[in-house]
Amino acid sequence: MTRHIDTVADATAYPEREQPYTELGLKADEYARIREILGRRPTSAELAMYSVMWSEHCSYKSSKVHLRQFGDKKPETDALLVGIGENAGVVDIGQGWAVTFKVESHNHPSYVEPYQGAATGVGGIVRDIISMGARPVAVMDPLRFGAADHPDTHRVLPGVVAGIGGYGNCLGLPNIGGEVVFDPCYQGNPLVNALCVGTLRHEDIHLASAKGVGNLVVLYGAKTGGDGIGGASILASETFDEGGPTKRPAVQVGDPFMEKLLIECTLEVLHAGLVEGIQDLGAAGISCATSELASNGEGGMHVRLDSVPLRDATLTPEEILMSESQERMAAVVTPEKIDAFLEICRKWDVTADVIGEVTDTGRLVIEWHGEVIVDVPPRTVAHDGPVYHRPYARPSWQDALQADDPGLLARPVTAAELRDTVLTLVGSPNLASKTWVTAQYDRYVQGNTVLAQPEDAGVIRVDEESGLGVAISTDCNGRFAKLDPYAGAQLALAEAYRNVAATGAAPLAVTNCLNFGSPEDPDVMWQFERAVTGLADGCLELGIPVTGGNVSFYNQTGDVAIHPTPVVGVLGVIDDVARRTPMAFRAIGDVVLVLGETREELAGSEWAHVVHGHLGGLPPKVDLAAERALGEVLVAAARGSLVTAAHDVSDGGIAQVLVEMALREGVGATVRVPAGLDPFVFLVGESTARAVVTADPARAATLEALATQHGVPVARIGVVTGPGDDLQVDLVVGDSVAWTLAELRATADATLPALFG
């Protein structure tokens, strides 16, 4: 049967047809606004476009008013070549090189179909990076799951890990870091965030804009299928005569091989100078790509939707507009260069079709077999969506939570108890070795990986000649953010900043992925507002701008939201990767020092979580001036070759840091607790702005002078003993604890394999 297509003429002729806007997620006032913009009812194709583009995911309607702070409080910087608002920000790293990086969430799809959900999450963020004209050079994957021993975690985690590996490995992108965090709050809402970083020369920056009247719009990559268009079936059922929604998959399947071809093909057409503007197709597919390109360019575009190559010939125009089929890109190409463009696509066996051209009419006009089904001002679709000022208020329970201090929790008393406590922590799921996960990721491909997990930050060589490189770390402690979202966001920032500095790289720019519950809950909205404000204030104080990011709301089961989880990624630059600082104890006789100040800070700590299942109190004090000073010391020490190893102190405290430094290369150390500090607090407390470093004895005094000069407290706490030696800690004179490296390794290594096979 042939289906009646709802044209613009129909919309004018039959103005009062009922439309399923509620089912598509639009509110009555939003629908009314669309009618007002158009001066008539929308066609069903227009309704499809507005509904996806005005969704929370695409329009940021609940978060926009708060995200503005990242721009308003942007620190003075020359480093930002492209700021917030494009597919990804671009940062100058010197010598004519730039990098672009961004983190995005794929939480909900990964819960439904862990492998494909995670795989397509990687695919999506990679396309954002190539659409800036950059070559992707690494990925990272901050992940959060429910309790490690919950049966559903056993379903979700292996699939997510296999999906990230399956896609990233096949693309040839080294995975250089990420996070694996377990907490029951993520049980029904695992967080799968994916970060990609790409490199480019300054002159290669490309933007998503359709410039030049008469230029052609090319769609290339995979054919369009019925992926991820649950909403469109509602439209179809309303207009189909036989009724009954057609069943379309909400799950998308990734094709990493196609994406690899897309990368090579895109970089080749960009470098050949064949492209005026370029845009990836992600959420909202063709609706997003055409309206954004048009809106950012001359303001008009004419598209023939029937020229879109289809995987499934039965798709309706609404479905084609909404399809989220993966591995597709759109480019704007001049008529003179189109043959050369298509020739390169053929070389890479990539399907490419001209689907329209740029106009200056100020309208996005879309035709279907000669009939006009869309005629809208593109800006109203892409940029002028609704903006909500959602109510927010400090939750009624926040005070009680903060008052519930961990001070009264039972602590280990004897040396033997302390020894056991540390072992318990070392083997706990959040602190245990993540090798079971990371061994499934290729960290070597491309041959430029200088540091990768489990180091503090991933370090990638950008320029083989000069050794110029970048370091990236992503972090967030959701428990801290729950206790105090403003501080929690700053602690996430501080930790990522410290991790980058620990490798010897100077922090330069920030990306973020803000994972929260429902914005319709004033408690959650308060957490969100506090976290954004904290992050914006923190970035201003540290002098590093936010270059982009992503918001994921509705991470909740019933009324219960996840811990607020503002994942922060910090990128730093290192002039010569040969000077990077690794984390391992190495040379016998090296002095072990701690930089920074230890306070009694146990609220939200791994110890309180693992041993007592306790969450309450105030998180560790944020001291960004101290973080900055520490960072300066770590970077200067790396440049001056004053340190042989460095490792930042965070989850699990100094005990965990010493264990990790010892296990990395199998080299022991003897350490004593500084006078005046409680050994337990020293070992497992989580005060920030601290790092443990090692130095050649001949250079330790210079290092100490450097630290003092920057106002960073420094203390010698021990010495590296040698390969295979124990890790020994002298608690007080005459009383010490020791662990063999073998028992530490066995404890750290056993946990995840025992859980996941």
Partner 1 sequence: MARVVIDVMLKPEILDPQGKAVEGALGRLGLAGVASVRQGKSFALELEGEVDDARLAKINELAGSLLSNPVIEDYVIREVTA
Partner 2 sequence: MRIGVVTFPGSLDDHDAARAVRIAGGEAVALWHADADLHGVDAVVLPGGFSYGDYLRCGAIARFAPVMGTLVDAANGGLPVLGICNGFQVLCESHLLPGALVRNDSLHFVCRDQRLRIESTDTAWTSAYEIGQEIVVPLKNGEGGYVADEATLDLLEGDGRVVARYLEVNPNGSRRDIAGISNARGNVVGLMPHPEHAVEPLTGPSTDGLRFFTSILKGLVEA
Ligand X SMILES: Nc1ncnc2c1ncn2[C@@H]1O[C@H](COP(=O)(O)OP(=O)(O)O)[C@@H](O)[C@H]1O
Site string for partner 2, 250-279 (x = CB under 8 A): -----xxxx-xx------------------
Of all residues in the shown chain, the one whose CB is closest to Mg ion is: 87
Is 324 a residue that touches Mg ion (CB under 5 A)?
A: no
Burial 456-476 (b: 16+ CB within 10 A, else e): bbbbbbbbeeebbbbbbbbbb
Choose, by CB under 8 A, the member of 75, 94, 172, 454 that binds partner 2: 172
The number of residues that bind ligand X (CB under 6 A) is 15
The rounded Cα 60 to chain-centroid distance in angstroms is 17
Shortest Cβ 203–partner 2 spacing (Å) = 22
DSSP secondary structure letter of residue 454: T
Residues 6+ apart with CB under 8 A from 60: 67, 551
Helix (H) or strand (E) holding 459: strand 458-461
- Tally of CB atoms within 10 A around 333: 25
Q: Which stretch binds Mg ion (CB under 5 A): 48-56, 111-119, 124-132, 318-326?
A: 124-132
Is 694 a residue that touches ligand X (CB under 6 A)?
A: no
Phi and psi for 677 in degrees, rounded to 5?
A: -105, 140
Is 87 a residue that touches Mg ion (CB under 5 A)?
A: yes
Helix 415-426, helix 653-665: angle, nearest 10: 70
Identity of the residue, 87 or 175, whose beta carbon is nearer to Mg ion in the bound complex: 87
Shortest Cβ 24–partner 1 spacing (Å) = 20
- Distance CA(666)–CA(668), nearest Å, equals 7
Phi and psi for 186 in degrees, rounded to 5?
A: -95, 10
Shortest Cβ 258–partner 1 spacing (Å) = 7
The number of residues that bind Mg ion (CB under 5 A) is 3
What residue 587 binds from Mg ion, partner 1, partner 2, none (CB within 5 to 8 A, per partner kind)? none
Is 296 a residue that touches partner 2 (CB under 8 A)?
A: no
What residue 440 binds from partner 1, Mg ion, partner 2, none (CB within 5 to 8 A, per partner kind)? partner 2
Query: Among candidates 240, 233, 366, 239, which has minimal Cα distance to 312?
Result: 233
Shortest Cβ 229–partner 1 spacing (Å) = 10
- Distance CA(701)–CA(559), nearest Å, equals 56
Choose, by CB under 8 A, the member of 5, 65, 147, 170 that binds partner 2: 170
Choose, by CB under 8 A, the member of 31, 348, 480, 585 that binds partner 2: 348
Shortest Cβ 214–partner 2 spacing (Å) = 33
Query: How many residues in the chain?
Result: 757
Identity of the residue, 326 or 490, whose beta carbon is nearer to partner 1 in the bound complex: 326
The tokens describing 375, both together, are 């005629």
Q: Which stretch binds ligand X (CB under 6 A): 44-52, 80-88, 337-345, 428-436?
A: 80-88
What residue 444 binds from Mg ion, ligand X, partner 2, none (CB within 5 to 8 A, per partner kind)? partner 2
The tokens describing 89, both together, are 């920000």
Identity of the residue, 312 or 353, whose beta carbon is nearer to partner 1 in the bound complex: 312
Q: Which stretch binds ligand X (CB under 6 A): 82-90, 375-383, 465-473, 729-737?
A: 82-90
What residue 70 binds from Mg ion, ligand X, partner 2, none (CB within 5 to 8 A, per partner kind)? ligand X
3-state helix, strand, coil in the chain (%, to 5): 40, 25, 35
Query: Among candidates 686, 599, 611, 696, which has minimal Cα distance to 648?
Result: 686
How distant, in Å, are the alpha carbons of 83, 128, 219 from that of 256?
29, 15, 18
C-beta of residue 206 within 8 angstroms of C-beta of residue 279: no
Choose, by CB under 8 A, the member of 205, 253, 372, 423 that binds partner 1: 253
Helix 256-271, helix 338-347: angle, nearest 10: 140
What residue 67 binds from Mg ion, ligand X, partner 2, none (CB within 5 to 8 A, per partner kind)? ligand X
Angle at 156 between CA 102 and CA 525, to 5 degrees: 55
Is 249 a residue that touches partner 1 (CB under 8 A)?
A: yes
Shortest Cβ 282–Mg ion spacing (Å) = 5
Q: Which residues are catalytic?
A: 57, 106
Residues 6+ apart with CB under 8 A from 304: 355, 356, 366, 367, 368
Query: Among candidates 8, 21, 37, which has minimal Cα distance to 384?
Result: 37
Q: Which stretch binds partner 1 (CB under 8 A): 54-62, 246-254, 357-365, 579-587?
A: 246-254
Query: Among candidates 594, 635, 622, which has minimal Cα distance to 507?
Result: 635
The rounded Cα 667 to chain-centroid distance in angstroms is 34
What residue 138 binds from ligand X, partner 1, Mg ion, none (CB within 5 to 8 A, per partner kind)? none
C-beta of residue 360 within 8 angstroms of C-beta of residue 299: yes
Sites of contact with ligand X (CB under 6 A)? 67, 70, 84-87, 128, 282, 512, 514, 546, 548-551
Sites of contact with partner 1 (CB under 8 A)? 112-113, 116, 222, 225-227, 247-249, 251-255, 257-258, 311-312, 325-326, 349
Sites of contact with partner 2 (CB under 8 A)? 162, 165-166, 169-172, 255-258, 260-261, 348-349, 438-450, 461, 577-578
